Amino acid sequence: MIEARPLRYIPHTRDDVRRMLEVIGRPRVEDLFAAIPVELRLRRPLALPEPASEQEVLAELERLAGANANARSHDWFLGAGTYSHFIPSAVDALVSRAEFYTSYTPYQAEISQGTLQAIFEWQTMMCGLTALDVSNASMYDGASATAEAALMAMRITRRNRVAVSASLHPHYRQVLDTHLAGLRAEIVTIPRGEDGRSEPVADFVDGETAAVILQQPNFLGIVEELSEAAEAAHAKGALLIASVTEALSLALLRPPGEAGADIACGEAQSFGVPMAFGGPHLGFLATRAELVRQLPGRLVGETADARGKRGFVLTLSTREQHIRRERATSNICTNQGLCLLMATIYLALLGRVGLRKLAEMNLAKAEYAKARIRETPGLALACSAPTFNEFAVRLPLPASEALARAERAGIIAGLDLRPHLPELGPALLICTTELNGRESIDRLIGILAGGGS
């Protein structure tokens, strides 16, 4: 049964197996599977290839990777929920330490203080960025974090209706729909206004509304007016949820907590997490102190040992599935731990001044692009309200053609808005970050105006 070929991940030799079987008191390894009824045991090998060497696997994966355009092979202007930012080298160097990435959930606190302290630092920084009191230790992604925020508001208010901006990322909206489908909940959509901001919220909130959800900046990159929404929501006993897809905006815009949001959630991938075709990313969820018991996900708290030495532990665990089971705040168990560490390191490197400068740089790039668009015949900005690093452009030719031309010039020009907002006519959602040089922006504009090959 044991083949001669050693497998690099499994140490056992024939002699090892023989010795162990003696101790167990069984003649063959097969006998250890006796509890499985004979008719259920596979009588053929799995229809999979032979074991492969590292060399062979690497070659195959390189071949597959080579067939994918990416932000190193092309100039990148595509955002729409996943952002191309520069990741400092120290981030990957540090998370590649085995003690971080091959460690487990920090249930045994005494041998997990590295992980726990880093999470405590993350929680602190997210509180600072959102101006709220408590942040959890991550959700899967921005979309599920937003869905969990809605569920949280429904539990707190004991109401079943959610008012959602039409300018919430379409995927976030779809994920919200999926999560609410089994729970007799109702979703009301707050339309988009002329200038790209959401319509005043007051008309869409009543005594049955659990929460209002606005995205900040919204799907078209536009900065929403949160305090008006907060007032309207609170007047009817509802909560305001601010969902953020571009976390870098938190370094520039008025913090959601200060504007009156009760819950801030969304995606922190911009903080040092690779785009990686959409995952693993980093959902975040933060709220006011009074609501902490309804917050899903893990929480790290400060404490001490018997000698008074400060340390950190997972806490308020009775909210979670392993204790409360069917009455848990959520079923989440595994979260996005290592991505949280990437983001914590990233925020530590950029810091109080660097992160703000980076945000201003992103804004400057976008404003430059917008200024060039305004002076280019055939192109027009789709919305008049202010934006951060993303904005929508109307084109003189079909978006698909513009994208194809751009791709031939080595540029991924943005997101075709036709599937999402056909009423705009041919249009693209364009994102500019610190990685987009002026020249590259100029080339993009030229191609969009109908130039280029």
Closest distance of CB 232 from another protein, Å: 18
Question: Which of 88, 191, 207, 422 touches another protein (CB under 8 A)?
Answer: 88
| Amino acid letter, 276 | A
Residues shown for the chain: 453
CA distance 159 to 8: 56
Contacting another protein within 114-133 (CB under 8 A):
114-115, 117-118, 120-121, 123-129, 133
Report 272-331 residues binding another protein (CB under 8 A): 274-281, 292-293, 298-307, 309-313, 315-318, 320-328, 330-331
In whole angstroms, the minimum distance from the beta carbon of 226 to another protein comes to 9
What's the Rg (C-alpha) of the chain? 26
Q: Which is nearer to another protein, 246 or 320 (CB)?
A: 320
> For another protein, which is the closer residue by CB, 206 or 237?
237
- Angle value at C-alpha 366, between 376 and 357, nearest 5 degrees: 150
- State which residue, 206 or 410, has the beta carbon closest to another protein: 410
From the list 14, 27, 32, 290, which residue makes contact with another protein (rule: CB under 8 A)? Answer: 32
| Buried residues in 145-155 as b, exposed as e (16+ CB within 10 A) | bbbbbbbbbbe
Task: Please report whether residue 99 would count as binding another protein according to CB under 8 A.
Answer: yes
CB of 378 to another protein, least distance (A): 22
Specify the pairing of strand 427-431 against strand 390-394: antiparallel
Nearer to another protein, 318 or 451 (CB): 318
Q: Name the token pair of 363.
A: 């804004």
Q: Which is nearer to another protein, 65 or 423 (CB)?
A: 65
Residues 148-167 within binding reach of another protein (CB under 8 A):
none
Scanning 58-66, 197-205, 374-382, 444-452 for contacts with another protein by CB under 8 A, the matching segment is 58-66
| Contact present, 205 and 236 (Cβ < 8 Å) | yes
Given candidates 75, 85, 106, 268, which one binds another protein under the rule CB under 8 A?
A: 106
Query: Does residue 235 belong to the site contacting another protein (CB under 8 A)?
Result: no
Q: How far is CA 40 from CA 28, 33, 37, 43, in A?
A: 19, 11, 5, 9
29 binds another protein (CB under 8 A): yes
Dist CA 195 CA 192 (whole Å): 8
DSSP letter, residue 129: H
Least spacing, CB of residue 3 vs another protein, in Å: 6
Say whether residue 339 binds another protein (CB under 8 A): yes
Q: What residues contact residue 323 under an 8 Å CB cut-off, 6+ apart?
A: 317
Binding another protein by CB under 8 A: which of 188, 236, 434, 446?
A: 434
Cβ-count burial of 307 within 10 angstroms (0-12 exposed, 13-18 middle, 19+ buried)?
exposed
The phi-psi region of residue 272 (left if phi > 0; otherwise alpha if psi is between -120 and 50; otherwise beta) is left
The reply to whether 10 sits near another protein by the rule CB under 8 A is yes
Q: How many CB atoms lie within 10 A of CB 175?
A: 19
Question: Binding to another protein by residue 448, rule CB under 8 A?
Answer: no
Interacting span for another protein (CB under 8 A) from 110-118, 204-212, 389-397, 444-452: 110-118
Judged by CB under 8 A, does residue 14 bind another protein?
Answer: no
Q: Scan residues 368-397 and list those touching another protein (CB under 8 A).
A: 368, 386
Q: In whole angstroms, give the CA distance from residue 341 to residue 106.
A: 13
Query: Could you give phi then psi for residue 114, rounded to 5 degrees?
Result: -60, -55
Helix (H, G, I), strand (E, B) or coil at 266: strand
Residues 240-279 close enough to bind another protein by CB under 8 A: 251-255, 258, 267, 274-279
Q: Which is nearer to another protein, 143 or 190 (CB)?
A: 143
Q: Which is nearer to another protein, 181 or 423 (CB)?
A: 181
Strands 239-244 and 209-215: parallel
